[in-house]
Structure 1
Amino acid sequence: MSWKPELAEIERRRERAREMGGEERVARHVAAGRLPVRERIDQMLDKGSFREIGSIASRVTYEEDGSIKSFTPSNFVTGRGTVDGRPVIVGGDDFSVRGGAADGTVGNKMGWSERSALESRIPVIRLVDGTGGGGSVKTNTEIMRSYVPYNPEWDISVELLSTVPVVGAALGPVAGLGAARVAASHFSVMVRGVSQLFVAGPPVVYRALGRKVEKEELGGSHIHARGSGAVDNEVASEEEAFEQIRRFLSYLPSSVYEVPPRIESEDDPERREEALLSFIPKDRRKVYDARKLVSLVVDRDSFFEMGRFYGRPLITGLARVDGIAVAVMANDPRFGAGSINADAAEKMTRFIDLCDTFRLPVMNFVDNPGFLVGVEAEKRGTIRKGVRALAAVYQATTPWCSIIVRKAFGVAGAGHVNHTRSSPRYAWPSGEWGSLPIEGGVEAAYKRKLQAAPDPDALRRELEEKLASLRDPILTAESFGVEEIIDPRETRPLLVDFARRAFEIIANEVRGPRARGFRP
């Protein structure tokens, strides 16, 4: 006697589970430009590494003789696998079975996957499609009552954010709890024209507001990756989404109990780019390409940008310096001269929290004329969101280095570093700083004198010319108001020294979750 008959029955059920919602529903799913859930997982993970858990979890009814009458597989597929040889937990919704809603789940597979990632201290990848395990009113008809809602395993979701890398991918129309699961991540991505994300879909919006909207209008990538900031990046295909997820994870440790991975670098640590010598225009009104500046300093082709189209005055992303994973911030003068608006402040807060959670050294390329001014900026609550960003700077303890490439003015400019720390800070000869830019400062400080002058414009020019002579960064360095003015070509070698020492410090720290958790 052997257990072959039982094993054969288990395999038959696995085969039925792989049929998902049936041939017709799967075909509609594919026709909409979306991969079936197991194909998604296979493309996301290293080839052949996926080991499914709960493979025969399903809703089954039986005939009186014990044979199967109906079989509906769980609409959540999960298990373990590897990405670049490192273990991860992955979970994906099967939209072909009840649109990914809670009444299509079986047991607590989603909860198991999240808790397993937490206890195993490995990243979790959420491939969300549908309501992502959220509720449906059909549940009420099944249980013959309503219920007070709760967010399943949300305590685990919160703890995950302070412990392991969490990635959310919106791969179709994503609503309710599914949308929340995408947003409650360290990195999120959605597919242009295929993915939509919203608190509630068009039918609910119509009943609530009396307005008919299409899914793309309500929550396409142009809304969330280029507007609201609810999703970090947009991509052209699911394959590109999986590639971005792999790249994001390559910079991070598997958990806060480990050190960010270091790789061998083929880039010369002593590389000095001649282009940096004249990179910042002498004309203060001219802009430059801040992304190119970053690329000239970090390891070649290593910069991975996050949130490019949200909070555009601030560039954020991950990179490598001498093979060491680092976090990069840079003001972009092409948008509001690099001044921090409300969106950029929120982006900055979340990014610094990511860096501090996983102990990524921060390199901040500063060209910050201050918080954005004006009526609209005040309406957006820029100062409230701005001081939250400053709090993140001052709460962070990860190694930090600032390069002042041009402007550092006002409260926002002062927040380029926690001034109570002896963090390395260098200035380029193009640097200028103060409580206010001279132009605005003259208008505020000499308002009455200008009003009383017979020729206000001539007096304004005279005052600005006089104060401009005090803008020379050498004068500040003479009084040790800035630690060192450097040749811009020396930037990479100095940052290599910083990154190497930062890596040693982090490697010898007592590791674990920060006292203050990650804020999604």
Structure 2
Amino acid sequence: MTWEPEIKELHRREAIAQQMGGEERVNKHNAQGKLTVRERIACLLDEDTFHETGALAGKAKYDENGKLIDFTPANFLVGTGRINGRKVVLGGDDFTIRGGAADGAIMGKQIYSEKMAHDLQLPLIRLVDGTGGGGSVKFLDTEGHTYVPVNPAWNLVVSNMERVPVVALCLGSVAGLGAARVVASHFSVMVEEIAQLFVAGPPVVKYGMGQNLTKEELGGVQVHRSSGAIDNIASSEEDAFEQTRRFLSYLPSNVWQLPPVQTCTDHANRREERLISVIPRNRRSPYKIREILPLIFDQDSIFEMGRYYGGGTLTCFARLDGHPVGVLASDPYVSGGGLTAESCEKIERFVDLCQTFHLPIVNLVDQPGMVIGLPNELKGTIRKGARAIAAIYQAKVPMIEIIMRRVFGVGGAGMTNGHGLNLRYAWPSGDWGSLPVEGGVQVAYRRELEESDNPQELLKELLERMESVRSPFRTAEAFGVEEIIDPRDTRPIVCEWVKDAYALLPQMLGPSSHGMRP
């Protein structure tokens, strides 16, 4: 007595599943410059670490004797594997079967991937290449009734945002619930040329809105590079996989663990001479913030997210003496580095991400305040700014502020919790107040300037007088700023701080008091 016949049948069905939609559809898929879902999994994960769950799920047909005569695998793969040795859960759409639509799937598999990540407390990676929703209207015809929509496993999708790192890769034309699965993540990547993302695709938009657009015009990279729907753009699928690996390397596997500390060969006491001159003496002159970051943080450790959305604010991960940290900084080349509605949303989401996974935050401040003018009022910038400030105040992770230049107005004041310990250091280039002196004098002395016989000369005198008292050393005399430092000492100071910060993190482990949203 043996079960060998059943084992042979098991392997036969597994072999059919490996064929996905069949040779013709696989070749067509590859001809479009896209990897199949199984090729993607093999490329992303450590070699030979993928353990598939539910390979036998699919649509089967039997003859009158109960013998299998046809089998179409489900078009969603789920399993576990390892990335840089760390275990993850992975779920991926198979576009070679029904274009990845849900009516070609066994929906329980997609739900199971979310449940595995949730209950096993493992990072989740979604390889999205289809609608992922209800599929075509033809499905209703075959069922004979319609239905009230329910987003499958959305309770788990929301809960996973509070528990484990979630990465979503947009790897094809992704619409509806598939698009929602992409953006309901901590980090999303879209691949150039092969990927588009939209609420509804071109045919639906043409019929419903009268807009005749191609997939690229409606939801291609040129749309979402700066829309805020996607975090990063990748030049290829391999680039997207590498960005995934880098993103996860800064985060713990779940909120009950500490971020992973790496061995560091970059000396913690490195002092960079360039820092003494990177801030121009002319306050109106910009500088390149991305050239400054490597002078402070560990070499080759900077990973930026969302560069083209809210570009006046830079958000990235980096390391200090091997310790992962979140970084906020202004880019003076975009809106002077001021807070726009978009950059406020960016700050709020990034700070919540760091709070969720217990990453200390380094805030490199050169903040002129919220951007003014009618276009920004129409966007409700002040409310979004208040939300960004609230996120900073609600964050419990250790935060350090390095004032590089400007701190003005509500926006500048909100870059750190001024009612806490407020651990901060200022460079000699620091310049702060309720308003920049140049504009503030015009407002404060408006009447005197209007009544003056020589307003330009009076303005010059006022500015010279103000200039003598705007020195950061005057503020330090009143203990209005705790320390003014040599910029070259910044790395040694923050590397010492990060050790103290990580010593505090164990008491903060677990879910945050306010769960993160997409």
TM-score bracket, normalised by the shorter chain, equals over 0.9
- The aligned runs of 1:342-421 (5 Å cut-off) are 342-421=341-420
- SS, match of residue 129 in structure 2: strand
Q: How many residue pairs end up in the alignment?
A: 518
Q: Which moved more, 1:451-460 or 1:311-320?
A: 451-460
Give yes or no for the alignment of 1:267 onto 2:253.
no
Match of 1:128 in 2: 128
How far residue 421 of structure 1 moved from its aligned partner, in angstroms, is 1.1
- The aligned runs of 1:41-440 (5 Å cut-off) are 41-224=41-224, 226-440=225-439
- SS, match of residue 172 in structure 2: strand
How far residue 227 of structure 1 moved from its aligned partner, in angstroms, is 1.8
- Deviation track 1:334-362 (CA, whole Å, cap 9, x = no partner) reads 11111011111010000000000000000
Identity fraction in percent: 53
Cα distance in 2 for residues equivalent to 1:39 and 1:413: 48
Question: Quick check: 1:105–1:133 contact (8 Å CA) kept in 2?
Answer: no
- The aligned runs of 1:482-493 (5 Å cut-off) are 482-493=481-492
Q: Which moved more, 1:135-144 or 1:145-154?
A: 135-144
- Deviation track 1:257-315 (CA, whole Å, cap 9, x = no partner) reads 00000011000010000010111111111111101111110000100001111110011
Letter in 2 for 1:75: N
Cα distance in 1 for residues equivalent to 2:271 and 2:368: 28
Match of 1:519 in 2: 517
Cα distance in 2 for residues equivalent to 1:473 and 1:132: 56
Give yes or no for the alignment of 1:19 onto 2:19.
yes
How far residue 16 of structure 1 moved from its aligned partner, in angstroms, is 1.0
- Deviation track 1:307-342 (CA, whole Å, cap 9, x = no partner) reads 111110011010110000111111011111110111
Question: Quick check: 2:335–2:371 contact (8 Å CA) kept in 1?
Answer: yes
How far residue 440 of structure 1 moved from its aligned partner, in angstroms, is 1.5
Cα distance in 2 for residues equivalent to 1:135 and 1:177: 10
CA-based RMSD of the aligned residues comes to 1.0
How far residue 460 of structure 1 moved from its aligned partner, in angstroms, is 2.1
Match of 1:476 in 2: 475
- For structure 2, the residue ranges without an aligned partner over 5 or more in a row are none
How far residue 96 of structure 1 moved from its aligned partner, in angstroms, is 1.2
Question: Quick check: 1:399–1:423 contact (8 Å CA) kept in 2?
Answer: no
Cα distance in 1 for residues equivalent to 2:84 and 2:138: 41
Letter in 2 for 1:34: K
- SS, match of residue 475 in structure 1: helix
- For structure 1, the residue ranges without an aligned partner over 5 or more in a row are none
- Deviation track 1:216-265 (CA, whole Å, cap 9, x = no partner) reads 111112211x2211101001100000000000000000000000000110
Question: Quick check: 1:76–1:110 contact (8 Å CA) kept in 2?
Answer: yes
Question: Quick check: 1:305–1:318 contact (8 Å CA) kept in 2?
Answer: yes
- Deviation track 1:408-451 (CA, whole Å, cap 9, x = no partner) reads 10000001101111032000000000001112211222222222
Question: Quick check: 2:358–2:509 contact (8 Å CA) kept in 1?
Answer: no
Cα distance in 2 for residues equivalent to 1:502 and 1:120: 28
Cα distance in 2 for residues equivalent to 1:138 and 1:167: 32
How far residue 453 of structure 1 moved from its aligned partner, in angstroms, is 2.1
Question: Quick check: 1:103–1:138 contact (8 Å CA) kept in 2?
Answer: no
Q: Which moved more, 1:38-47 or 1:444-453?
A: 444-453
Quickly say closer, same or farther: Cα 1:6–1:181, change in 2 above 3 A: same
Cα distance in 2 for residues equivalent to 1:210 and 1:143: 30
- Deviation track 1:444-494 (CA, whole Å, cap 9, x = no partner) reads 222222222223222222222221222100000010000000000000000
Letter in 2 for 1:269: A
Cα distance in 2 for residues equivalent to 1:73 and 1:216: 30
Match of 1:504 in 2: 503
Q: Which moved more, 1:369-378 or 1:449-458?
A: 449-458
Question: Quick check: 2:358–2:508 contact (8 Å CA) kept in 1?
Answer: no
Letter in 2 for 1:514: S
- SS, match of residue 507 in structure 2: coil
Cα distance in 1 for residues equivalent to 2:429 and 2:203: 55
Question: Quick check: 1:129–1:173 contact (8 Å CA) kept in 2?
Answer: yes
Quickly say closer, same or farther: Cα 1:134–1:391, change in 2 above 3 A: farther
